[in-house]
Structure 1
């Protein structure tokens, strides 16, 4: 019996490089969404969720065209967030970015991800496949949680747009990272969106 969690970062957002916080997908983002949908078309999903932000919901809508049996539910637990703040032991290279984050923002992000882990990183009875369309930092936090790494470790992980990460949970056993940022379904010219969390 296994609980498989499929995590997908949304497709490339149009004008994200110009500081636009949210918006529709670029042409390449649309192609990425079609490609990941094709990749997952043979999987039966018992549940599916998406972040409420436009770039994620549009990715989900495109994927649903090829996965007609899947109904996406929006969840605020999948919103883009800062999962932790500056803590003792955080590498110096990450200090500048975290010092720019308000404590209230990182505290809210940490609480959000604690609730998200409680909902999705849990064993289940029977074989269950769940699909989540979300954001870079959220997926990084899930991976960090599975690996039981220090809180700051999410900053050292990045996912490409429509990259695929798979986590397995089994009763009585620790979670397992089956795949991380798999891009085999994307041609090289469509592999985008792996930003560093802070400038160097």
Structure 2
């Protein structure tokens, strides 16, 4: 009997590391909206324009805020769109030696919404394709980690962030337009080890002075240009 117990104990000890490596763990996802930008007819039609000067300033502020967090980012992702890549490039200055991975499904698009007047000029096929894109993004990245708690950073867009929030809340995914997030804001979503979601914050801009905030519904137009002296 004793040899059998010893054998069982040895088997348990040998497989324990493998089990621990596969055990589900919490995943924290930090989503940052890109900084402010302005339309540019000369910009690449797919990638869009670069950040405006105020957007660069916002990116520096959010980079400093992220660097001060106690979390270590296990993965850093960015949308392929230029304004998001510019924002990530500025943030990267606060994380020497780290690399952002470009994720195509973080690209901005227009998914279905309750606000039909907003999508009146959109093609149904494009709305459906955007929903499928966000379906893939949520399924691939918004799930428990393995082996140890993980924190991921995603630099992307307002539509992406709002859609991920309503999905995490388990409400109608077409309700995303009922919220607004500012440029360079921080949204934090926790995925528990058992797959449950906790939305910790949405559109946090505590790191940006009110005079530099842009991008949310009702925000006034701001720039870093020198005003005319009265």
Q: What is the CA-CA distance between 1:120 and the residue it aligns to?
A: 1.4
Pick one of 92, 102, 108 that aligns with 2:123: 102
Structure with greater Cα Rg: 2
Q: What is the CA-CA distance between 1:195 and the residue it aligns to?
A: 4.1
2: CA distance, partners of 1:190 / 1:173? 37
Pick one of 93, 111, 115 that aligns with 2:132: 111
| 2:90 equivalent to 1:62 | yes
Runs of 4+ in 1 over 6 A off after TM superposition: none
1: CA distance, partners of 2:26 / 2:193? 8
Match of 1:37 in 2: 63
| 2:141 equivalent to 1:120 | yes
Match of 1:28 in 2: 54
1: CA distance, partners of 2:117 / 2:111? 16
TM-score in terms of structure 1 length: 0.88
Match of 1:175 in 2: 197
Q: Give the number of aligned pairs.
A: 187
TM-score in terms of structure 2 length: 0.77
1: CA distance, partners of 2:145 / 2:97? 21
**What is the root-mean-square deviation in Å for CA atoms of aligned residues?**
1.7
1: CA distance, partners of 2:134 / 2:159? 10
Q: What is the CA-CA distance between 1:155 and the residue it aligns to?
A: 1.1
Structure 1: tracts of 5 or more residues without a match: none
Q: Secondary structure at the match of 2:116?
A: helix
Q: What is the CA-CA distance between 1:150 and the residue it aligns to?
A: 1.1
Pick one of 81, 98, 106 that aligns with 1:53: 81
| 2:43 equivalent to 1:13 | no
Pick one of 134, 155, 162 that aligns with 1:133: 155
1: CA distance, partners of 2:128 / 2:121? 14
More deviation, 71-80/168-177? 168-177
| 2:101 equivalent to 1:73 | yes
Q: What is the CA-CA distance between 1:98 and the residue it aligns to?
A: 2.1
Match of 1:190 in 2: 212
Q: What is the CA-CA distance between 1:82 and the residue it aligns to?
A: 1.3
Q: CA contact under 8 A between 1:45 and 1:70: conserved in structure 2?
A: no
